[in-house]
Structure 1
Amino acid sequence: MAFELGETFRVTSVRGETGDLPWEFSGGRLTIGLTDPEQVSTLVISYEGHVTPTGSPRRGNLEYLGPEGIYLRPASGWYPRPVGGGPVRGSLEVVVPAWWAVAASGRMVGCTPAGGIGELRTFEWALDPPAEIYLAAGPYLVRDRVTAQGITIRTFFYGREDTWAEAYLEETERILDVFTGLFGPYPYPSLTLAEVQDFYYGGLSARSLLFLEKEWLANPRTNLSASSLLAHEVSHQWWGEIVPVLSDHPEWFLWEGLASYSEALYAEAAGGPAEALIVMADKAAEYAEAARGHRETSIKEANVRWYDWQNTFVYEKGAWLFHTLRFLLGDDEFFDLLRVYLDRFTGREPTTRDLAALVAASSGGDPYLERFMETWVDEPGDVDLALSRVSMRPAGDESGVYVLDFYLRDAGSRFFPRAEVTVGISGQTSKVVVAEAGANSLRLPGPVTRVEVDAGRKVLDLTRDNNRWYFVGGLSVPGTAFRYGAELVLGVVLSLLAVRLAGAFGHDRPGRRGPVVRGPSLPSGTQPNTWATIRARQGGPG
């Protein structure tokens, strides 16, 4: 039997149920000679040494040991792991100063009371179901709450952040309820939230344990970034733990893309579609920035995750992949697909090809959906929905009825098959229809004021100037004309105002024109970035 252990440690003994066992420790590999390798055995491995922290000065630490506390990952090599990694079953007993507390993977089954200087305190955690062991310890204050479903949620926060502990307990319970309804039951008896500082990631999710970086903590009831980070990390209990990450060449978007989209799903459940739209618009803006110099890169190529912009393809574009798939399938089919995916790959390691097969099976024969995953993962680019040949005329056969004609196409590289079209009707509420690519004709109960494709942001479309048309005096005018016309009018008005002000204060000179002032303009349809960038990671390479 062989284990991996950090090379900075020294093994002193290995004991089995009947006494000492032969062993050899070299190059971080501990080999133990068992009398009967097929028999289940209890091993006691004694070792001593230290952990060498890793990370970067710019991003923070991946592990830490200091007077403020410690946090350790399995990759730190701090405990004997089966060769190749993987979960272990058993119990973990940790002895710390009496004013400290210990958070770990699994469920807490006991602890001795807190004490004073010079005293010690013991925490015991059960690893059942099996788990890789993540550990955090420090001068924490511990709070807990038992949900209506019987799940024990605990916070291990430092004194300042402990003021938000109750808010985190409540928000975590709400998130668990939402994701249980969407994905399926949370399968573990507890969930622990541990604060860590100067951490490499904004957050990290292990089995029934979350690390949350100190600088990212805030009141999740009022801070959208804190709530979004929490939703992202909690969702990894499904997308990363129940459905585990592929150990050999992980296809990260399957977990990080789904976790990033889970942020929007929780925002939608908590605040409605408008809240989810803010989340997705922010992700589109982040992806647009990252893609500016990398338009020929696919999600598959970005999966190496060497640079931050590649992470943006995995996280933000990955989230948009699932959001777009939801639009094409419809809500019922989409969430059925997620539940089937979860059920079929519980404890297994799926690939893109596995998910692609499920999407194709749910496609109803739609040729675009049959190759959806290939198009969105393997190929670069994004959708560019465009309206053209927009016109309106009275129906002629009915009083007050008008016919709207338009042509819908994908000017990008994906040949997108259909999209929502919102039609503004004079004196009435807008009408939303799903239009197929190509020529469309609609009969409407009044004259049209505007036409816009994908107003609800269901598709990753970064070029939105060609998404809308307006009707002025019965004539159709593209949205680009309105934009540039508005900029021109604004420039003229500001120029005249500058001239008048210069004259009023005696700064104008004969023959000198006032300056043309042109304010910065966002691309049509772009919303200001109201959400902080979330850099939350499932436990894996940064």
Structure 2
Amino acid sequence: MNRILSSLIAVAFIPTAAAQTGTPPAKGTPALTEQTKVSGGLRPAEQTALTFDRADLAFELHPDSYRLTGVATLDFIAKAPVARLVIDLDHNLPVTAIAIDGVALPAGRWSNPQGQLTIPLPRPLAAGGKVSARITYGGTPHVAVRAPWDDGVVWSKTPSGATWFATTAEGYGCDLFWPCFDFPEGEPGSVTLHITVPKGLKAPSNGRLLGVDTLPDGRTTWNWRTDHPNTYAIALNVGPYEEIAGTYKSRFGNAIPMFYWYLPGEKAKAEKLFAEFAPTLDFFESMIGPYPFGNEKVGVVETPHKGMEHQTINAYGNGYAKAAEGFDWLFQHEFAHEWFANQLTAANWDDYWLHEGYGTYMQPSYGEWREGAARYAAMMNGQRGGIANRVPIVRGRVITEEEVYEADKGGPGLDIYNKGSWMLHTLRWAIGDKAFWDVTRLAVYGRLDPKPGNFVPRFGSTTEYEGFVARVTGKDYRWFFDVYLRQAALPDLIRTRTGDTLTLEWRAPGNGPFPLPIELAIDGVRRILPMTDGRAALNVPASAHVVIDPDARVLRRSIAIEEMQAWQSGQQGRPAK
């Protein structure tokens, strides 16, 4: 039996029933500190001075008391001298013991009043030095109000009354249930998980399954290992799951195991969803490159919340909904994040459009790959009305996750999805298909020739992305990103006519240059205006029928959409007739 697991059982054992008894904690409880609610942003020097080498995490779920206990062994390598460890951990999970390099610290040597555990080291650590901290903790984890949009744990029951439990931590961060560095670049090099659950329950999680241990009382411990996990990607999922498994033979020559864990009684629906796995994989591998975690698995688990991109164990809670496009958009969206979030991770939440803009754009791109241009256009059109343009997507400073999503903190919110997707749609038209997918490949893998084994997960930024566009096209597109990412308003294309002269002029927010070409259809004949100086004039008979941007390739101001959004806002709260 694993050494850490043995310690967990000895220190934190509570007899566990197979189903919950008593009253579960109310949503939103126990309350979180403001510190725990912060994910990302500027970090303590003690955290940036360390490389998070690996973590060994042992958890035990106690459904009878709605508790979670754990033992975390965290290994760090110093990049600069450091005298103490500063580790993020919700104070609702109090620490009962800490050992540094195997030596127990006296009680009271650590503190965690607000959710940032501070541990003075017995001896200062020099650059290049290594340290291992073993932290025993446990308590009542924060219950999400509306997962996954509000983070925490979800206690639920299946139709048969069995425990159904999940974690989600994208917003408030990994410190909701394990001690971590709660910022994007704080991801550990590897994580080994040991998840002990009551008899009859399963615990699918991240990475490769190392084995399942059955304890004398019928409880089981599920052992997993994953490399380079995104900080919020570690996930606990517990339920009476049934499993579908298969193997995908990649176009890159490797064989990738695939798994779907679903609730009993849903086999027929589960098999239909599982049938989408292989063609979706083929789409991503053909358009972008190898599945990033082929040596681990493709994993999906049914959850009591909508969904989340938990690396190699994506959460699925879409209820097997059917849609006109013929595929499950939520499964596809979360799966897109294996490339755009888990393989390519934004180093700063200010660049979060790299996750969600691309994740959103992959649905119409998949529709195009499956059915052609009409499906792509219909799906892009469906996103267009959701663009708000209230604040810029990128602000040029280190920010927290909350400053992206929350309007009262100046966040662009859903614009990182819809506006990010439409910006990519426009960029693809402006630079051409080959250049666009080459830029995408560079952003994801850092190279144009990705193959299994020649890349690892990486961090990216908006500035780096602009550099990739310049490298591939040989042109500087800073003006393009300045308008779409660093300005709130959209560029406006002004059309004027004097006799037989038609003049088009870009008016860009910020009054900077915007030489984006535009296509016209003049009596059905198409031509592209280069708009080199942001304007163009051409001779067009007054009787001609002119359609600007006939394929809707360019994201620009639409008065019709603004009026529709204003009307919709006015309808909110009005009684139906």
**What TM-score do the two structures reach when normalised by structure 2?**
0.65
**Could you say which structure has the larger radius of gyration?**
1
Aligned 8 A contact 2:276 2:327 in 1: no
Aligned 8 A contact 1:383 1:416 in 2: no
Q: What letter matches 2:488 in structure 1?
A: P
Query: Do the aligned partners of residues 442 and 245 (structure 1) sit closer, same or farther apart at CA in structure 2, a change above 3 Å counting?
Result: same
Match of 2:142 in 1: 52
Which stretch shows the higher mean deviation, 1-10 or 230-239? Answer: 1-10
Q: Aligned-residue CA RMSD in angstroms?
A: 4.0
Inter-partner Cα distance in structure 2 for 1:241 and 1:12: 33
Aligned 8 A contact 1:144 1:155 in 2: yes
Match of 1:170 in 2: 275
- Percent sequence identity is 21
SS at match of 1:124: strand
Match of 1:359 in 2: 469
SS at match of 1:460: coil
Q: What letter matches 2:301 in structure 1?
A: A
Aligned 8 A contact 1:387 1:453 in 2: no
Q: CA deviation at 1:4?
A: 3.5
Q: CA deviation at 1:281?
A: 0.7
Match of 1:195 in 2: 302
Per-residue deviation, residues 377-432 of structure 1 (Å, max 9, x unmatched): 1123224445554999xxxxxxxxxxxx75443366574532222344xxxxx543
Inter-partner Cα distance in structure 2 for 1:78 and 1:57: 15
Match of 2:119 in 1: 31
Per-residue deviation, residues 231-269 of structure 1 (Å, max 9, x unmatched): 22112111111121224x432212211111122211211
Match of 1:207 in 2: 311
Aligned 8 A contact 2:152 2:176 in 1: no
Match of 1:534 in 2: none
Inter-partner Cα distance in structure 2 for 1:58 and 1:439: 48
Inter-partner Cα distance in structure 2 for 1:91 and 1:58: 24
Matched, 1:334 2:428: no
Q: What letter matches 1:203 in structure 2?
A: G
Per-residue deviation, residues 166-215 of structure 1 (Å, max 9, x unmatched): 22222222222211222221121312112222x3xx42112222112x3x
Find the partner of 2:417 among 297, 309, 315: 315
Find the partner of 1:122 among 217, 221, 226: 221
Match of 1:344 in 2: 446
Q: CA deviation at 1:331?
A: 0.7
5 Å matches for 1:141-540? Answer: 141-149=242-250, 150-159=255-264, 161-188=266-293, 189-197=296-304, 199=305, 202-212=306-316, 214=317, 216-219=318-321, 222=323, 224=325, 227-247=328-348, 249-287=349-387, 290-291=388-389, 294=390, 297-300=391-394, 304-307=404-407, 310-344=412-446, 347-365=457-475, 369-385=477-493, 388-389=496-497, 406-410=502-506, 413=509, 415-424=514-523, 430-437=524-531, 438-439=535-536, 450-463=545-558
Inter-partner Cα distance in structure 2 for 1:440 and 1:380: 28
Match of 1:491 in 2: none
Which stretch shows the higher mean deviation, 29-38 or 162-171? Answer: 29-38
Inter-partner Cα distance in structure 1 for 2:96 and 2:494: 70
Structure 1 residues not aligned, in runs of 5+: 393-404, 425-429, 466-521, 530-542
Match of 2:71 in 1: none
Q: What letter matches 1:378 in structure 2?
A: R
Aligned 8 A contact 1:91 1:124 in 2: yes
Q: CA deviation at 1:88?
A: 5.2
Query: Do the aligned partners of residues 45 and 281 (structure 1) sit closer, same or farther apart at CA in structure 2, a change above 3 Å counting?
Result: same
Query: Do the aligned partners of residues 91 and 196 (structure 1) sit closer, same or farther apart at CA in structure 2, a change above 3 Å counting?
Result: same
Q: CA deviation at 1:277?
A: 0.8
SS at match of 2:489: coil
Query: Do the aligned partners of residues 89 and 463 (structure 1) sit closer, same or farther apart at CA in structure 2, a change above 3 Å counting?
Result: closer
Per-residue deviation, residues 343-402 of structure 1 (Å, max 9, x unmatched): 339644333222222323444446xx342111211123224445554999xxxxxxxxxx
Query: Do the aligned partners of residues 143 and 390 (structure 1) sit closer, same or farther apart at CA in structure 2, a change above 3 Å counting?
Result: farther
Query: Do the aligned partners of residues 315 and 280 (structure 1) sit closer, same or farther apart at CA in structure 2, a change above 3 Å counting?
Result: same
Inter-partner Cα distance in structure 1 for 2:267 and 2:356: 28
SS at match of 2:210: strand
Per-residue deviation, residues 473-495 of structure 1 (Å, max 9, x unmatched): xxxxxxxxxxxxxxxxxxxxxxx
SS at match of 1:165: helix
SS at match of 2:301: strand
Per-residue deviation, residues 255-290 of structure 1 (Å, max 9, x unmatched): 211111122211211221111111211111111xx3
Inter-partner Cα distance in structure 2 for 1:327 and 1:525: 26
Find the partner of 2:212 among 111, 122, 125: 111
Q: What letter matches 2:196 in structure 1?
A: V
Find the partner of 2:152 among 52, 62, 77: 62
Structure 2 residues not aligned, in runs of 5+: 1-75, 77-84, 158-162, 396-401, 448-455, 569-577
Q: CA deviation at 1:101?
A: 1.5
Inter-partner Cα distance in structure 1 for 2:364 and 2:516: 24
Aligned 8 A contact 2:211 2:223 in 1: yes
Inter-partner Cα distance in structure 2 for 1:135 and 1:152: 20
Q: CA deviation at 1:58?
A: 11
